[in-house]
Structure 1
């Protein structure tokens, strides 16, 4: 793009210029630090920070520094204690630091573009909060961007800073609402080389995967499905049961033009029979998302307080935070604990009595861990009476039907179990799901269910699927074997990869720090028509380094392993460190 302004992650070659520019600005120009003979400013975070650089051709224009929460320390720690600034303890705050532009380029678009690039990078790593120090004389610019002072002032040398913060989703919305036209104009003029899309999705949530866009959402090139491995979505690798296929093939013209049973009565009866549940405890929907939106929309308001696991299926944060606007807290699962729920810790958090709803996906997506039913029953029994529990059992078949809490949900009005038939029964394209609740709760949701909520083909398919448990039990056992083989093949690619199996139809692969990012691996694999899911936007816990891979059949899994091998071979030699080597200097400083 010639002399277009380039936005990129800093390379090793950028480091001396960054240190030298910092010295010129913060020592010589602003007097924040004393000049030093080397003419360079460094600090103890340089080795771990991420730097984004703006350049025009060979000329570097400016940079911004980002300190991610997984480092466990921030530049602000030098000035304020965690008691004075408790938001630094929340685990999802990214510190934006040292936004610096060459003096003769300060009238250009470099500074706002670097701020925007930092916001997009943070959002792509699951960041939910930004914290920064802004020079008081530039406070108007930061307020215009959506940052707000927290009431803390910091003095460093001759410079005074205000501590600022902002919610990532609100900052993103403000950027698109107020500056969307300008950003769209700049989009075509900027050479964007970051491993995150320039613009966010309109609703801020990545529903499903990106693989269908490769097929074509206008359905004119569906023959491409034979060339693409869609491992970014958790659809079943196997076909539905023979009875399902026969039902779908039985006079499809009639099924297409005929209205289904109004309340899906036959489907409800078959679910009740198969699950040994009273039919009055059931409500059906066109997939679990239909049920989530409908139920949460009835129960929750912007004043409601919700507790989500972190990491967890992204649709829950989307509905509660972005659609309804609830006050949402996270219960953090930790990699070092095997991503498992600590029952005592969760019980203590819920026992505070401040939550209207607790959401537990079990087995969890994306961690793939299963919490034993007995532990959840004990947690619920000890929880305050005002707290409702939503248990998502979309993948429970892989753990075993005895682990379901559906029986508890049928009698305890605090508990609702949601079960999708999509993933376990190979019905994702048909959209069929149900929930189990105490009869009065279920009846209320049925009143808010429109007529014909599930199509006739989907109703017939669901009934046929539930009548063939042996077929699916065999497919689920085969899935475990395929997953184990895929895990072994991926682990064999590089000893630095961390492969974590789930109990369900997927696994995760974490790249080493200092290697390619998850986004880079995903992008490179797409060149081989293999689609994986970058988990980075779901949670800072993944540090931008973890991908989720759905289990496919033997041939598909072989293509996944081959694509990952080729991608790593391509990325590793070309990759250069994004962070600067740590060289602590006492005169270091921080500014936005």
Structure 2
């Protein structure tokens, strides 16, 4: 019986074959390069390219090359300048080249499989656009896959290439729409060894974590929850306030069967009192996602221009790009700046009034950085009235409620503040959130809020939580201590990664560039019942090597460190120990 095709990232053992087959195809067959005596054709980016290989057993069939943006240069740079082809300067652009298949295998699924695999690998690293060089005589194959000519052709030796490009989401959608049955057949017949999922999620967005895949979304065996550590979502490590628990336990039968107050009037009144805000400036929802979908759906159209922070909370890109279809730009945060928002650079991007909406999550998720309220106020003040600002303060309690812009939002029609009660108040399961806006804006959103939008358990729990600020302040303070201990434990476990604390209830681990990928680490930890979050799909700025870890209690943090240590040991090449890593690890403390 013939063995299944295997799709994998190239290993050092594949290098000689890659160089040899490239020489046979591009030098001897196509005349693109001059033949060389050693019969091996190398590329100037070989040390930094990623190669994917399709094989059947020991028989290598084909390969494809990917150049990520963090390399800083592309193969196309030899032919076109950034002025001639501006997309080469985009920070989320991946170059795909050197699609090579053994001559006797060219009528098989090898080439389409390699192209699809490259697309999935790029998507898993946050790539949003690809650029490719396609031989002119094969142009129909590339355009059928969704790639579009840029209007540039380049010549190399005897071969003429068309320069092609496409958005990753558009290419994925076109591939699945046009070749869905073929892709599914490939999925069932291919031994897939990439650290990227074979198929994208149905809506293209990863909502929350994956720990319910272990618990079971059918809730038949909730005992499983005691075996796993759900550090891939930013739910609170602490329980709700004692008053919340007592209230919900008092008469569960009545709570379950009774309709809640239609407009959550009591909850609105409690928020007004607790935050010293006029009730007419408030609107409530079943979590911040409810408010995001409802508000953005009323305000934005496909003609709207939106500015998002990158890296940032993925739900905003999903709603604006995938659901509404807005024209979205990204304000890039930089690793060398410690992922902090530069207020002067942000002001320069927004002062022209180009954007209908600017979204700032503050403190930011997933970077965990906080822009002081005074600085953000200054940026907003410099922006024309045509631009609306959406400030997401889901994690503000970990910094201090004095940093809220809610008072500004209540008076300034350009500003809306969204505040989730889920994360800070340990109410993620019951879903409650509110936003603050000037009265007309808030009233408009209340009109578009369906009756009973917030359940009775959620209304009761949120009211009780807001009445116990002292309990939660203590929990937030304790979170900082737990986070520092977790960071120290991870740093001590392995010296080759950078452990970066945030101001909130999580931290990030940046793995060495030439070590295991974030996806590989996450996979290994899941095998040990510890769930972490691979940040790679959120932004190419993470280079496929950043993991976010939520702070848990002392016992679960100990399990996280143990799983992390064991996973790195399992992924480390033979003969290499943490002490032989080429660079030292560090713990980066983050202030505001």
| Fold equivalence (TM over 0.5) | yes
Other structure's SS at 2:537 match: helix
What TM-score results when the alignment is normalised by the length of structure 1?
Answer: 0.96
Question: Counterparts of 2:306 and 2:47 in 1: how far apart (Å)?
Answer: 37
Residue in structure 1 matched with residue 341 of structure 2 by the alignment: 341
Residue in structure 1 matched with residue 181 of structure 2 by the alignment: 181
Residue in structure 2 matched with residue 50 of structure 1 by the alignment: 50
Q: Using the TM superposition, give the Cα deviation of residue 2 of structure 1 relative to its aligned residue in structure 2, in angstroms.
A: 6.3
Other structure's SS at 1:76 match: helix
State the aligned residue count: 576
Residue in structure 1 matched with residue 119 of structure 2 by the alignment: 119
Structure 1: which 5+ runs fail to align?
577-592
Q: Is the 8 A contact 1:152 1:162 kept in 2?
A: yes
Residue in structure 2 matched with residue 311 of structure 1 by the alignment: 311
For residues 533-558 of structure 1, the C-alpha deviation after alignment (integer angstroms, 9 at most, x for no partner) is 00000000000000000000000000
Structure 2: which 5+ runs fail to align?
577-592
Residue in structure 2 matched with residue 166 of structure 1 by the alignment: 166
Q: Using the TM superposition, give the Cα deviation of residue 575 of structure 1 relative to its aligned residue in structure 2, in angstroms.
A: 11
| CA 1:412–1:575: 2 relative to 1, 3 Å | farther
Other structure's SS at 1:191 match: strand
For residues 153-186 of structure 1, the C-alpha deviation after alignment (integer angstroms, 9 at most, x for no partner) is 1111111011100000111111111111111122
Question: Counterparts of 1:141 and 1:204 in 2: how far apart (Å)?
Answer: 25
Question: Counterparts of 1:239 and 1:45 in 2: how far apart (Å)?
Answer: 52
Other structure's SS at 1:410 match: helix
Residue in structure 2 matched with residue 192 of structure 1 by the alignment: 192
Q: Tell me which stretches of 4 or more aligned residues in structure 1 moved more than 6 Å.
A: none
Question: Counterparts of 1:464 and 1:21 in 2: how far apart (Å)?
Answer: 69
For residues 63-114 of structure 1, the C-alpha deviation after alignment (integer angstroms, 9 at most, x for no partner) is 0000000111000000000001101111000000100000000000000000
Q: Is the 8 A contact 1:2 1:57 kept in 2?
A: no
Confirm whether residue 511 of structure 1 aligns to residue 511 of structure 2.
yes
User: Which has the higher mean CA deviation after the structures are superposed, 170-179 or 451-460?
Assistant: 170-179
Write the mapping of 1:380-391 to structure 2, written as runs, cut at 5 A: 380-391=380-391
Q: Is the 8 A contact 1:391 1:417 kept in 2?
A: yes
| CA 1:574–1:516: 2 relative to 1, 3 Å | farther
Question: Counterparts of 2:333 and 2:575 in 1: how far apart (Å)?
Answer: 31
Residue in structure 1 matched with residue 222 of structure 2 by the alignment: 222
Q: Using the TM superposition, give the Cα deviation of residue 573 of structure 1 relative to its aligned residue in structure 2, in angstroms.
A: 2.1
Other structure's SS at 2:153 match: strand
For residues 326-372 of structure 1, the C-alpha deviation after alignment (integer angstroms, 9 at most, x for no partner) is 00000000111011111111111112321000000000000000000
Residue in structure 2 matched with residue 589 of structure 1 by the alignment: none
Question: Counterparts of 1:320 and 1:436 in 2: how far apart (Å)?
Answer: 20
Other structure's SS at 1:312 match: coil
Confirm whether residue 393 of structure 1 aligns to residue 386 of structure 2.
no
Q: Using the TM superposition, give the Cα deviation of residue 38 of structure 1 relative to its aligned residue in structure 2, in angstroms.
A: 1.1
For residues 429-463 of structure 1, the C-alpha deviation after alignment (integer angstroms, 9 at most, x for no partner) is 00000000000000000010000110001000000
Residue in structure 2 matched with residue 259 of structure 1 by the alignment: 259
Question: Counterparts of 1:137 and 1:65 in 2: how far apart (Å)?
Answer: 20
Question: Counterparts of 1:319 and 1:250 in 2: how far apart (Å)?
Answer: 38
User: Which has the higher mean CA deviation after the structures are superposed, 98-107 or 180-189?
Assistant: 180-189
Question: Counterparts of 2:575 and 2:170 in 1: how far apart (Å)?
Answer: 33
Q: Using the TM superposition, give the Cα deviation of residue 188 of structure 1 relative to its aligned residue in structure 2, in angstroms.
A: 1.2
Residue in structure 1 matched with residue 6 of structure 2 by the alignment: 6
Question: Counterparts of 2:353 and 2:366 in 1: how far apart (Å)?
Answer: 27
Q: Which structure would you say has the larger RCO, counting Cα contacts within 8 Å and 6 or more residues apart?
A: 1
Confirm whether residue 87 of structure 1 aligns to residue 87 of structure 2.
yes
Residue in structure 2 matched with residue 435 of structure 1 by the alignment: 435
Confirm whether residue 210 of structure 1 aligns to residue 210 of structure 2.
yes
Question: Counterparts of 2:259 and 2:127 in 1: how far apart (Å)?
Answer: 45
Confirm whether residue 370 of structure 1 aligns to residue 370 of structure 2.
yes
Residue in structure 2 matched with residue 63 of structure 1 by the alignment: 63
Residue in structure 2 matched with residue 588 of structure 1 by the alignment: none
Question: Counterparts of 1:427 and 1:574 in 2: how far apart (Å)?
Answer: 45
Q: Is the 8 A contact 1:508 1:549 kept in 2?
A: yes
Question: Counterparts of 2:237 and 2:343 in 1: how far apart (Å)?
Answer: 33
Compute the RMSD of aligned alpha carbons: 1.0
Question: Counterparts of 1:542 and 1:393 in 2: how far apart (Å)?
Answer: 23
